[in-house]
């Protein structure tokens, strides 16, 4: 079938993207779903820094590629071997498919699925296949989703079924921002009631982490960012204090607010210096967690004596150490109960033809989460 998709042919475009236009909206051929695959009509897809990092080249991927990975939609057709979804079902996409058979999957850590990671790196579906073509040439899949398109074929292992009464614009956020941010707090950090938390980087993932810390009952939640607007938004969501990261005394202010450092510091800025600051904001015996993804050549220098003598923990978090089929329904339930107001992350909607301008706004830090609304166009 013919579909419209946002295609990236070369990485490294220079902002403003409204002028350089790295993404072109093109008509491409989408194959029918193969074994274990599903055809989904995309209803909403969020703009994430992980997409932006492919556009600017800091996270290299095979080109050309149909990008987008945070989305929700409706099942249109199923391939052979899929017996637990039906046309008309609503689903959230997950950007790390899990095979269910490799050692990490067997250990209950699907975020570390080895075949899934391999497929994502190669720009294929979990099966190794490619279902997108144009004039006989293959177009790579982005993280098994390629969600900036009106339809996508994905592995069944990339989907979580949801109730039909959840609006698609909100549902899309659970596939990346919420899984990653809330999961980092709940699963990776395992924050307990009464503990102190600092969050560095207040994009969609960082603000979701703030919401997760509130849901966990953290006693202090200190939001850190360079944007006063985002700091104000974090306060309105429930952060107990804010610190502007540009302040030369930012580290000391966090340490003073927490009496020597936070129990947990979460870094989502994707900048090496931010992670170094996060480590310095963490108390003796505390835990520093990062879900930021800087360019692959960025390294972290740690003082080994402090790591050992202060019994520090530094942890990475990918997709919030989540089990998506378990956690997405749980987070949706918390949202419906009013304990995880994910809708506060939504900055607005745009049409697919406005996607380059949307990434300019994300690059400038002017929005938290913009969503391409395929049902209503721009708003």
The DSSP bridge pattern shows strands 241-244 and 220-225 to be parallel
As a whole number of angstroms, the longest Cα–Cα distance in the chain is 63
Helix 272-281, helix 250-257: angle, nearest 10: 30
Give the span between the Cα atoms of 181 and 211, in whole angstroms: 9
Is the CB of residue 125 less than 8 Å from the CB of residue 155? Answer: yes
Q: How far is CA 173 from CA 53, 150, 229, 379, in A?
A: 18, 17, 21, 18
Give the span between the Cα atoms of 314 and 114, in whole angstroms: 23
- Residue 164 is predicted with a pLDDT of 96
CB-based burial label for 235 (10 Å; 0-12, 13-18, 19+): middle
Residues of the chain predicted below pLDDT 50:
377-379
- Residue 375 is predicted with a pLDDT of 86
In degrees, to the nearest 5, what angle opens at C-alpha 129 toward C-alphas 127 and 134? 155
- Residue 169 is predicted with a pLDDT of 97
In eight-state DSSP terms, residue 166 is S
Nearest to 363 by CA among 22, 3, 7, 1: 22
- Residue 377 is predicted with a pLDDT of 44
- Residue 378 is predicted with a pLDDT of 38
Give the span between the Cα atoms of 213 and 198, in whole angstroms: 9
Backbone conformation region of residue 144, classed left if phi is above 0, alpha if psi is from -120 to 50, else beta: left
Give the span between the Cα atoms of 112 and 120, in whole angstroms: 12
- Residue 295 is predicted with a pLDDT of 86
CB-based burial label for 196 (10 Å; 0-12, 13-18, 19+): buried
In eight-state DSSP terms, residue 149 is B
Helix (H) or strand (E) holding 245: none
Is the CB of residue 169 less than 8 Å from the CB of residue 237? Answer: no
Give the span between the Cα atoms of 120 and 65, in whole angstroms: 12
The residues with which 262 forms a beta bridge, in sequence order, are: 282
The residues with which 141 forms a beta bridge, in sequence order, are: 66
Omega before residue 16 within 30° of 0, cis: yes
Q: State the CB neighbour count (10 A cutoff) for residue 272.
A: 17
Q: Which residues contact 289 (CB under 8 A, 6 or more apart)?
A: 184, 188, 189, 264, 265, 266, 267, 314, 315, 316, 317
Give the span between the Cα atoms of 159 and 33, in whole angstroms: 14
pTM beyond 0.85, yes or no:
yes
In degrees, to the nearest 5, what angle opens at C-alpha 115 toward C-alphas 114 and 120? 100
**List of long-range contacts for 216-221, beta carbons under 8 Å, 24+ apart:** 216/185, 216/186, 216/191, 216/192, 217/192, 217/193, 218/191, 218/193, 218/194, 219/193, 219/194, 219/195, 220/196, 220/257, 220/258, 220/262, 221/196, 221/197
CB-based burial label for 282 (10 Å; 0-12, 13-18, 19+): buried
- Residue 296 is predicted with a pLDDT of 87
Is the CB of residue 222 less than 8 Å from the CB of residue 257? Answer: yes
Give the span between the Cα atoms of 199 and 215, in whole angstroms: 14
């Amino acid at each position: 079938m013919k579909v419209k998709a946002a295609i990236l042919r070369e990485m490294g475009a220079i902002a403003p993207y409204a002028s350089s236009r790295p993404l072109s909206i093109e008509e491409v051929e989408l194959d029918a779903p193969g074994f274990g695959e599903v055809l989904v009509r995309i209803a909403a897809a969020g703009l994430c820094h992980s997409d932006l990092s492919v556009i600017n080249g800091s996270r290299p991927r095979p080109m050309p590629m149909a990008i987008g990975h945070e989305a929700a939609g409706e099942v249109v057709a199923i391939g052979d071997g899929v017996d637990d979804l039906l046309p008309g079902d609503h689903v959230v996409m997950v950007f790390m498919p899990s095979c269910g058979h490799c050692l990490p999957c067997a250990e209950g850590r699907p975020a570390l699925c080895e075949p899934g990671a391999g497929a994502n790196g190669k720009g294929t579906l979990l099966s190794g296949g490619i279902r997108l073509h144009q004039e006989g040439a293959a177009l790579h899949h982005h993280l098994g989703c390629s969600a900036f398109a009106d339809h996508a074929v994905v592995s069944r292992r990339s989907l979580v079924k949801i109730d039909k009464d959840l609006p698609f614009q909100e549902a899309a956020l659970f596939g990346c921002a919420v899984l990653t941010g809330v999961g980092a707090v709940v699963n990776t950090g395992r924050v307990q009631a009464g503990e102190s938390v600092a969050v560095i980087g207040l994009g969609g993932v960082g603000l979701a982490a703030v919401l997760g810390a509130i849901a966990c009952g953290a006693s202090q939640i200190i939001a850190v960012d360079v944007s006063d607007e985002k700091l104000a938004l974090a306060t309105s969501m429930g952060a107990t204090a804010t610190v502007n990261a540009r302040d030369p005394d930012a580290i000391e202010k966090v340490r003073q607010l927490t009496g020597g450092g936070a129990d947990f510091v979460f870094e989502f800025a994707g900048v090496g210096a931010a992670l170094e600051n996060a480590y310095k904001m963490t108390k003796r015996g505390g835990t520093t967690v990062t879900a930021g993804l800087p360019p692959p050549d960025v390294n972290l220098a740690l003082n080994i004596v402090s790591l050992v003598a202060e019994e520090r923990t530094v942890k990475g978090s990918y997709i919030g150490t989540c089990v998506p089929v378990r956690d997405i329904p749980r987070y949706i339930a918390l949202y419906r109960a009013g304990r995880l107001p994910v809708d506060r992350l939504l900055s607005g909607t745009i049409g697919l033809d406005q996607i380059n301008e949307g990434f300019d706004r994300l690059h400038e830090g002017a929005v938290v989460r913009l969503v391409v609304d395929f049902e209503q166009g721009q708003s």
